[in-house]
Amino acid sequence: MDKDKFQEFLPTMSRIFSMTRYFGVSTCKPSIAFGWTVILLLMLLAIEVGAIWKIVRLLGGWAVHSTDSRGFTARLSGCIFYGNALLSLILSIKFVSSWEQLSERWSRTETDPGLRLPSDSRIKRRTVLVSAFVMTCACVEHMLSMMSATGFDCPPEEYTERYILSSHGFLVQNDEYNLWLAIPIFIMSKLATALWNFQDLIIILISMGFTSRYNRLNTYVHRVVMLERNLKEGAQVSSENYMRFQIWRRIRQAYVRQAALVRLVDDQLGALVLLSNVNNLYFICLQLFLGINSKDRGSFINRLYYFISLGWLMFRACGVVLAAADVYIHSKKALISLYLCPELAYNLEIKRLKYQLKNDEVALTGMGLFSLNRELLLEVAAAVLKYELVLVQYDK
């Protein structure tokens, strides 16, 4: 077995994490990248404090301006957007900082000398393609948002002012605008969008790595079971029975180590999973509500941006849940092969492995509050539908 192919996923992830320092996600070691991270944290914190203060002024009746007919909604959405960026940056830094230790543990789990698992030569290509796809779609969606905010008739010298007043009216009013304030906000809006997409991408890629490992384990179990089914009763001797017993013991131990690895990573990733799902759910509900209640459909670019933005948000949210759900599904998939194991070859280790796979719930979770599986996707879809119906009825 080619160990380099076997472990292609880990160095690929390390390279991806090394590139995230450009938008503020770096390790906590003293460096230029960490200095940039600190600056971004302080700027995001300042924007978030400003957004919260605008909400307080509105609720207290001190505001003299109104962003639009949805003043509170616009302010709250902006506050949540930058609050998510701030928390996402902190949690992403925490996970990336722990990746060195996690990857070492992952590597030890992958290179188990007792099993000759088939390699996954496509995992590197899939990882790169998914990352490139998410990055491309995120850029297209954000470019459309900028076009929607300014329109096509905007003079170049007025572009920044029109964009900031349109997209950040919850934070900056006409009489408060100046270029030195607009430029940092313009930059931070791009970084906040990158962090929002990156938090979902982390979950998807880590889930793909776990699924690949489980798929290789399951394939190995299937091959062993097929060999067991081809054995003839007269060919069995005590030494062969002992060897088969040891093989099944190593297989069972490999599943134990893999489950422990998933839980170890979940401890570091759980807060990011929770943040990602709550944030995506909020903005899906918001987009649907605003779309249903919008009386002015606006220009073509506004309508195009609305549908693409909503579609991309829903696609990304579903991708997170479905990718993570595959970890749970593949953690139990070997049971199908085990049920085919002939009675002649049945032993105590196979019985233990069956019990282990049946009763051990292996899944990525949102800090233990919920597990990411396919049933969750249907439950969330039903909740969103109920929420929209209630809001539409209440709004009338």
- Interhelix angle 71-110/238-293, rounded to 10 degrees, is 170
- H helices within the chain, ranges in order? 3-6, 9-19, 32-59, 71-110, 123-150, 159-167, 179-230, 238-293, 300-331, 334-338, 348-359, 374-395
Of 118-122, 145-149, 235-239, the range with the lowest mean pLDDT is: 235-239
Distance CA 261, CA 364 (A): 11
Distances (CA, A) of 52 to 60, 163, 250, 335: 12, 21, 55, 52
Share of the chain above pLDDT 90, in %: 30
Write out the H or E segment, with its range, that includes residue 333: none
The 10s digit of each residue's pLDDT in 331-365 is 999 888 888 887 777 778 888 889 999 888 889 99
Nearest Cα to Cα of residue 332 among 364, 359, 352, 350: 359
Q: What is the pTM of this model?
A: 0.89
Rounded to an integer, the average pLDDT of 189-206 is: 93
pLDDT at 64: 53
Distance CA 85, CA 45 (A): 10
Distance CA 164, CA 180 (A): 12
pLDDT at 203: 94
Distance CA 174, CA 374 (A): 47
pLDDT at 3: 47
The two structure tokens encoding residue 134: 């998410």
Q: Is the pLDDT of residue 123 over 60?
A: yes
The 10s digit of each residue's pLDDT in 288-330 is 877 776 666 667 788 888 889 989 999 999 999 999 999 999 9
- Core vs surface per residue 266-300: b (16+ CB within 10 A) or e: bebbbbbbbbbbebbeebbebbbbeeeeeeeeeee
State CA 209 to chain mean position distance: 13
pLDDT at 267: 92
Of 70-74, 141-145, 184-188, 190-194, the range with the lowest mean pLDDT is: 70-74
Q: Is the pLDDT of residue 91 over 90?
A: yes
Instruction: Judge contact between 366 and 279, C-beta under 8 A.
Output: no
The two structure tokens encoding residue 289: 């509500």
Nearest Cα to Cα of residue 191 among 6, 318, 20, 70: 20
pLDDT at 94: 92
Choose between 304 and 157: higher pLDDT: 304
Q: Is the pLDDT of residue 1 over 70?
A: no
pLDDT at 240: 66
CB within 8 Å of 105: residues ≥ 6 apart: 261, 264
The pLDDT-based confidence of 236 (bands split at 50, 70, 90) is low
What's 231's DSSP letter? -
Rounded to an integer, the average pLDDT of 64-68 is: 47
Choose between 177 and 202: higher pLDDT: 202
Instruction: Judge contact between 360 and 245, C-beta under 8 A.
Output: no
pLDDT at 4: 46
Instruction: Judge contact between 43 and 188, C-beta under 8 A.
Output: yes
Across-strand partners of 365? 371
The pLDDT-based confidence of 276 (bands split at 50, 70, 90) is very high
Neighbours of 330 (CB within 10 A): 19
Instruction: Judge contact between 349 and 245, C-beta under 8 A.
Output: yes
Domain boundaries, the chain: 103-395
Nearest Cα to Cα of residue 255 among 356, 168, 377: 356
Distance CA 96, CA 27 (A): 6
pLDDT at 159: 82
CB within 8 Å of 363: residues ≥ 6 apart: 262, 324, 325, 327, 328, 331, 371, 372, 373
Rounded to an integer, the average pLDDT of 127-150 is: 90
Distance CA 120, CA 6 (A): 6
